[in-house]
């Protein structure tokens, strides 16, 4: 695989802030200036318990930019009705890194994230996810369509460095969903396509 892969340009030494109530981004752009947002205990502990709250919730095509999610990631970032996530660094993914909660197109670019015990991207609604320029190291899998669901998702992942997956890259239970991996570097990434994908391809 080729292409330039640089992940996030936010380092991890920005000012720190504790988030005790989900920050909701409902329009325009929220620019975090590469500050480090640590989930407070009100959101969860970053373990594998379900029901934790997200640090950010991004809605209706709004943009979240220049964010570091610190050592408590809780339930990461949720998107509703589409969103743009640009230049995000997850120091230690919590229950998962990002969840699509309702339909729309979510664009994710220039990101990196570490230590997701299970899933990095969790997809809970019929939607489109386009990811480019990412570094994902140590996770169970890059993406999971919610178990037992058969709606259609369409996923593309371009220019990503995927290293040390416990299980694999893309997993679905839906025979109408599609996934495409291009121009990426894989190392110990497990099985690329898990489940009855309508189409699931790797190239470049
Ligand atoms: C698990 C769980 C789902 C949902 C999901 C998530 O797959 O079974 O109900 O909570 O995690 O969104 O994290
Ligand atoms: Ca979960
Ligand atoms: Ca973790
Ligand atoms: Ca979750």
Give the atom of ligand 1 at the shortest distance from the alpha carbon of 96: 13
Confidence (pLDDT) at 85: 99
Q: What is the pLDDT of residues 38-95, one digit of tens each?
A: 999 999 999 999 999 999 999 999 999 999 999 999 999 999 999 999 999 999 999 9
Residues 6+ apart with CB under 8 A from 23: 30, 37, 55, 56, 57
Q: Determine the average pLDDT of the residues in 150-173.
A: 98
| Ligand 1 pocket, mutate which of 50, 74, 149 (most atoms under 8 A from CB) | 50
Q: What is the pLDDT of residues 171-187, one digit of tens each?
A: 999 999 999 999 999 99
What is the number of the ligand closest to the CA of 117? 3
Q: Where are the domains of the chain?
A: 24-45+53-203
pLDDT at 2: 55
Atom of ligand 1 nearest to the CA of 50: 10
- Residue nearest atom 10 in ligand 1 by C-alpha distance: 50
CATH 1.10.10.10 assigned to 24-45+53-203: no
- Whether this model's ipTM surpasses 0.95 comes out as yes
Residue 72: φ, ψ to 5°: -110, 110
Q: How much distance in Å is there from the Cα of 4 to the middle of ligand 2?
A: 31
């Amino acid at each position: 695989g080729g292409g330039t892969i640089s992940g996030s340009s936010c380092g991890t030494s920005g000012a720190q802030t504790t988030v005790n109530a989900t920050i909701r981004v409902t329009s325009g752009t929220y620019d975090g200036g590469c500050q480090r947002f640590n989930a407070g205990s009100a959101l969860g502990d970053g373990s594998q318990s379900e029901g934790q709250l997200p640090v950010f919730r991004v809605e209706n095509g709004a943009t979240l930019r220049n964010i570091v999610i610190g050592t408590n990631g809780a339930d990461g970032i949720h998107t509703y009705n589409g969103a743009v996530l640009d230049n995000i660094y997850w120091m230690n993914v919590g229950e998962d890194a990002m969840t699509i909660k309702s339909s729309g197109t979510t664009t994710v670019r220039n990101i990196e994230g570490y230590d997701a015990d299970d899933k990095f991207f969790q997809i809970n609604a019929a939607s489109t996810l386009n990811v480019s320029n990412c570094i994902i190291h140590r996770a169970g899998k890059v993406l999971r369509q919610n178990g037992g669901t058969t709606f259609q998702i369409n996923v593309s992942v371009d220019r990503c460095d995927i290293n040390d997956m416990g299980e694999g890259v893309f997993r679905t239970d839906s025979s109408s969903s599609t996934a495409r991996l291009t121009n990426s570097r894989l190392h110990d990434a497990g099985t690329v396509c898990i489940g009855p994908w309508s189409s699931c391809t790797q190239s470049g």
